[in-house]
Amino acid sequence: MANENKYNGWTNYETWLVALNIDNDRCLVDELKHFKELRDFKEFLEELCYDDELDIYLLSCDTLSSREWKKVNFEEIFNNLKADYEEDEE
C-alpha cells in the first residue's frame, strides 16, 4: 500500500515536521521560494538549522537528529513550495 508511509499528506513524519516549520515562518518561506535548484534549497536549510555542538537540526520549536534529518523528503517540500509560489504568481 503506497499510503502506509504517509503522514498528514507528506512522505513521513520528518518531512511533515520540516514542511510545517517552514510554513509557519513567512520570512523563511519568502527566502526559500526563490531557490531554483533542490540542491541549493537543501543546503540552505541544512546550514540554517544545523547545530554542530548538539549535532541536531533545530527547527522553530522542534529538533531532529541527523538520522531523522536524512529521512526528510526535501524534493517533496521544494516542489510543494515551488507550486505554491507559482500559484501565487498567477
Q: Which residues of 53-69 are buried (b: 16+ CB within 10 A; e: fewer)?
A: eeebbebeeeebeeebb
pLDDT digits (tens, 9 = 90+) for 12-46: 999 999 999 999 999 999 999 999 999 999 999 99
pLDDT reading at 68 higher than 80: yes
pLDDT reading at 1 higher than 80: no
pLDDT reading at 89 higher than 80: no
Do the beta carbons of residue 47 and residue 79 sit within 8 Å?
no
Percent of the chain with pLDDT strictly greater than 70: 93
Share the mean pLDDT of the chain.
92
The greatest distance separating any two alpha carbons of the chain, rounded to the nearest whole angstrom, comes to 44
Which residues span the domain enclosing 29? Answer: 2-89
What the block records as the C-alpha cell of 17 is 515536521
Total domains present in the chain: 1
